[in-house]
Structure 1
Amino acid sequence: MAKVDILNTKGQNVETLELNDNIFSLEPHKDLMYRYLDMQLTNSRAGTASTKTRSEVRGGGRKPWAQKHTGRARAGSIRSPLFRKGGVIFGPKPRDFNKKLNKKMKRLALKSALSLRLSEGNMIILDDISFDTPKTKSMKEVLSALDLTSKKVLMLLPYKEEKYENVKLSAKNISKIKVIIADNPNQGKTNVDGLNLFDLINNEKIILTKDMVKKIEEVLV
C-alpha cells in the first residue's frame, strides 16, 4: 500500500497513512475518464434553446401578393423562412441531452482521477480541518501554511456537519478554492455537492481530510 504524509492545518507532518492501492494506485483509465467527463458536461446542458417554426411565428395566413404579373417571386405566406421575422428552418427545439454511465464505470473513472492526482503529487491529506465560525481569514491562513495561495484548489470534506459547513462558508469569498461536502445522506439531499470527476481534474491541488479518505475507500472499494 502507498504511504502518504498527513499534515495539520499549519503544514506540519503529524503521521502517515496507508492508502488502498485499488483506489489510489491504479493505472488511470483515460477512456473512462473521458466518457464520465463527457456525460457530466453534457448532462449539465439545459436543453431549453427553442426557435419558432413558420407555424408558430406571428403573421397572417393571407397570400402577400398575387401569384403572377407582379414581377416578384411567388410567395404564399409572410411567415415563410424567406421573410424577415419568418419562421426558422431546422432551428433548435427543447430536448433532453441526458447521457448515462453505469456505476462500475463511474467508480473506475473516479478511482483513475484520484490515482492520477496522487501520482502527480497534487494530493494533500489533512488530519482534519474545522472552524468554529465562518471566517475567510482562517481559510487564507490554512492555504498560506500549505503554500497553496496561488493555486486552484479543491477541498473535499466528508460529512454535512456544522464545523465543515463553516469551512465551506469560509472559502466562499476566495476565488481559487472550491469546497465540496461529499456526504450523501438518505434524507435532506438538497445542496449536497458530491464527489465528481470534473472538479477532480479541473483543479491543480486536491485536499482531503483523513476521514474523507476513509469515506472514499468505503464507497469506491
Structure 2
Amino acid sequence: MKLDVIKMDGSAAGSVELNDDLFGLEPRRDILFRVVRWQRNKAQAGTHKVKTRSEVSYSTKKIVRQKGSGGARHGSRKAPIFRKGGVYKGPTPRSHAHELTKKVRRLGLMHALSSKAQAGKLVVLEDLNVEAGKTSALAKQVANLGWKRALIIDGASINEDFAQAARNLETVDVLPSMGANVYDILKRDTLVLTKAGVEALEARLK
C-alpha cells in the first residue's frame, strides 16, 4: 500500500510504501473488542468498597430483650436488614484485569492500524518539526490540516519541541511508537504516523 507523505505545513514530501500485513488487513471487530476490553479492564481502579456489619459504626447494645417483646429476636443493629446496617456481600477492592495472549494483542494493534487506513483516516508525516515549542503555531497548522481529534505516533522518542507545543492542545495526543495501543488509536478520528513511527511499528509488529 502506497501513501502520500506530507509536512506539517501541508506540502507534499513524497510517498511511503506501507506493509500490507500491518495496514492492509480486513478489520475484525471481535478482535478489536477483545483488546479494548482487556485494556479498559486493566486500567480500572477496582477501589469500590462498602462497609460490612463488622465495619459500620453503631452501638453493640442488644436492641430488645430476647423474649416477650412480641417481635423477632435481634442481636445487633449492624445487621443488613436494618437502616445504616452493614451491606451483605457488597463490592470489595479487587483487580478487574484478565489475561490476553500476546498474539491477540499484537493482532489487535494490526487491525486497528488497518481500520484507520481502510477508512482513509491515516496520515503519514515526514517529521514533527515545529517552531520552538509554540502551541499557537501548532494549533494553526493542525486546524489547516483539518485534524479535529488526532493521535500522533512518532518513532522511539518524541520531538521535545513538538511535545511541548502539543501539551496544551486538547485535540492532539502524542505517543512514541512503543506506546501505540488499540484503544487510543480507535478513540481518535485521525491517526498520524511519522516516517520514523511507521518504521518503528513495522519493526515492532513483524
The separation in 1 between residues aligned to 2:14 and 2:8, in whole angstroms, is 13
Partner of residue 13, structure 1 = 12
Instruction: Output the CA distance in 1 between the equivalents of 2:201 and 2:177.
Output: 9
Unaligned segments of structure 2, at least 5 residues: none
Query: Which of 182, 188, 191 is residue 206 of structure 1 equivalent to?
Result: 191
Equivalent position SS for 2:8: coil
Q: RMSD of aligned C-alpha atoms?
A: 1.6
> What amino acid maps onto 2:100 in structure 1?
L
Assess if the C-alpha contact under 8 Å between 1:152 and 1:205 holds in 2: yes
Quote the residue 2:165 is aligned against. Answer: 170
- Post-superposition Cα deviations, 1:87-114, rounded to whole Å, max 9, x if no partner, equal 0012100111111211111111100010
Q: Could you tell me which residue of structure 1 aligns to residue 26 of structure 2?
A: 27
Tell me the equivalent position of 1:216: 201
2: CA distance, partners of 1:182 / 1:61: 60
- Hey, what's the Cα distance between the residues in 2 that align with 1:93 and 1:165? 42
% identical equivalent positions: 35
Cα deviation code 1:52-78 (max 9, x no counterpart): 111222234332111233344332101
Matched residue type, 1:108: L
User: Structure 1: which 4+ aligned runs deviate by more than 3 Å?
Assistant: none
Alpha-carbon distance, 1:28 to partner: 1.3
| Bigger shift: residues 139-148 or 15-24 | 139-148
Distance 1:48 1:167 in 2: 36
Question: Cα offset for 1:195?
Answer: 0.8
Q: What is the alpha-carbon distance in structure 2 between the residues aligned to residue 131 and residue 142 of structure 1?
A: 9
Tell me, yes or no, if the aligned pair for 1:55 and 1:87 is still in contact at 8 Å: yes
The match for 2:155 is 158
- Asked if structure 2 preserves the Cα contact closer than 8 Å seen for 1:45 and 1:97, the reply is yes
Deviations 1:136-195 (A, max 9, x none): 1121132133122xx11111111335xx13212212222221111234xxxxxxxxxx11
Number of residue pairs aligned between Structure 1 and Structure 2: 206
User: Partner of 2:106: helix, strand, or coil?
Assistant: helix
In the alignment, which residue of structure 2 is the partner of 1:40? Answer: 39
Residue pairs, 1:41-190, within 5 angstroms: 41-131=40-130, 133-148=132-147, 151-161=148-158, 164-183=159-178
Q: For residues 16-72 of structure 1, what are the alpha-carbon distances to aligned partners after superposition, in whole Å with 9 as ceiling and x for unaligned? A: 111111101011122111100010111111111111111222234332111233344
Distance 1:98 1:20 in 2: 32
The aligned amino acid for 1:158 is: G
Deviation larger for 125-134 or 210-219: 125-134
CA contact (8 A) 1:9 1:145 kept: no
TM-score w.r.t. the length of structure 1 is 0.87
What is the Cα deviation at residue 132 of structure 1?
A: 5.8
Q: Is the 8 A contact 2:50 2:92 kept in 1?
A: yes
TM-score with structure 2 setting the length = 0.93
- 1:96 is aligned with what amino acid? S
Moved more, 209-218 or 49-58: 49-58
Q: Distance in 1 between matches of 2:160 and 2:91?
A: 41
